[in-house]
Amino acid sequence: MGYKLSNTGFNEYIQQLKERYRLFAPVLESKKGKFAQTDVIAYGEIEKFDDMILESKSYYSPKEIFFPIRETLFYFMKDTIETPKINEKPVIIFIRPCDLNGIRRLDSIFLKNGEEVDFYYLRRRELVKFIMIECLEGFDTCFCVSMNSNIALDYDAVIRVEENVVSLKVVDDKLEAPVLSNTDKVEFEPEFIKENKVKVTIPNVDLVSKETFNNDIWKEYTSRCIACGRCNTSCITCSCYTMQDVKLSDDKSIGERRRVWAGCHVDGFSDMAGGHNFRDKNGERMRYKTMHKVNDFYKRFDEHMCVGCGRCDDVCPEYISFSKCINKLNEIVEEGKNYD
Amino acid sequence: MTNPYLPIPYKILEVRQETDIDYTYKVAYSGQLIGGQFMEISIPGVGEAPISICGFDDKSLEMTIRKVGRLTDQIFSLKKDDTLYMRGPYGNGFDLEKFRGKDVAFIAGGTGLAPVRKTIDYFIRNKDEVKNLEVLIGFKSPSDQLFVDDIKRWSVDNNITVTVDQGDENWTKETGLITKHITKLDLSDVKNKVAVVVGPPIMMKFTTLELIKKGFQEENIWVSFERKMSCGIGKCGHCKIDETYVCLEGPVFNYVKAKTLID
Ligand SMILES: Cc1cc2nc3c(=O)[nH]c(=O)nc-3n(C[C@H](O)[C@H](O)[C@H](O)COP(=O)(O)OP(=O)(O)OC[C@H]3O[C@@H](n4cnc5c(N)ncnc54)[C@H](O)[C@@H]3O)c2cc1C
Ligand code: SF4
Ligand code: SF4
Ligand code: FES
- Domains of chain A, residue spans: 2-65+86-186
Residue A35: predicted pLDDT: 58
Residue B12: predicted pLDDT: 97
Rg of chain A taking only CA atoms, in angstroms: 22
Which residues share a beta bridge with B62? B26, B55
* CB contact at 8 A, A286 and A265: yes
B242-256 pLDDT per residue, tens: 999 999 999 999 999
* CB contact at 8 A, B62 and B125: no
CA geometry: angle B245, B247, B249, nearest 5 deg: 60
Residue A294 CB less than 6 A away from ligand 2:
no
Residue A307 CB less than 6 A away from ligand 2:
yes
Q: What is the mean pLDDT of residues B178-201?
A: 94
Q: b or e along B210-238 (b: 16 or more beta carbons within 10 Å of the residue's beta carbon)?
A: bbeeeebbeebbbbbbbbbbbbbbbbbbb
Q: Give Cα separations from A306 to A28, A69, A296, B27, B206 (angstroms).
A: 25, 20, 11, 44, 37
Q: How many CB atoms lie within 10 A of CB A154?
A: 11
Residue B198 CB less than 6 A away from ligand 4:
no
Q: Which of A237, A264, A285, A314 to mutate to test the pocket of ligand 2 (most atoms within 8 A of CB)?
A: A237
pLDDT band at B198 (very low <50, low <70, confident <90, very high): very high
Q: Where are the domains of chain B?
A: 8-90, 96-258
CA geometry: angle A142, A145, A150, nearest 5 deg: 90
What kind of architecture, by CATH, is found in domain B8-90? Beta Barrel (2.40)
- Dihedral (Cα; B86, B87, B90, B94), 10-degree rounding: 40
State the ipTM, two decimals: 0.93
Residue A320 CB less than 6 A away from ligand 3:
yes
What kind of architecture, by CATH, is found in domain B96-258? 3-Layer(aba) Sandwich (3.40)
Q: For chain B, give the number of residues.
A: 263
**What ranges make up the beta strands (E) of chain A?**
2-6, 22-29, 40-45, 70-77, 80-82, 91-95, 128-133, 157-161, 165-170, 184-185, 241-247, 254-261
Residue A275: predicted pLDDT: 63
pLDDT band at B130 (very low <50, low <70, confident <90, very high): very high
Query: Distance from the CA of A6 to the center of ligand 4, in angstroms?
Result: 49
Residue A338: predicted pLDDT: 60
H or E element, residue A106: helix A97-107
Residue A32: predicted pLDDT: 62
Index of the ligand 2 atom closest to the CA of residue A293: 1
Q: Give Cα separations from A32 to A59, A140, A229, A310 (angstroms).
A: 10, 21, 16, 19
DSSP character string of A133-144:
EP-SS--TT--T
Residue A173: predicted pLDDT: 95
pTM, 2 dp: 0.93
Nearest one of A233, A211, A225, A217 to A324, comparing CA atoms: A217
Mean pLDDT by 10 residues, chain A (340 residues): 93 97 93 65 95 93 95 91 96 98 97 97 97 96 97 97 95 96 91 96 89 89 92 96 89 87 87 75 92 94 97 94 94 75
Index of the ligand 3 atom closest to the CA of residue A263: 5
B64-81 pLDDT per residue, tens: 999 998 899 999 999 999
Nearest one of B258, B261, B263 to B196, comparing CA atoms: B258
Mean pLDDT of chain B: 95
Give the nearest partner residue to A114 out of B6, B43, B248, using CB atoms. Answer: B248
* CB contact at 8 A, B135 and B54: no
Is B83 part of the contact surface with chain A (CB cutoff 8 Å)? Answer: yes
Give me the residues of A, 230-249, that contact B with CB < 8 A: 239-243, 245-248
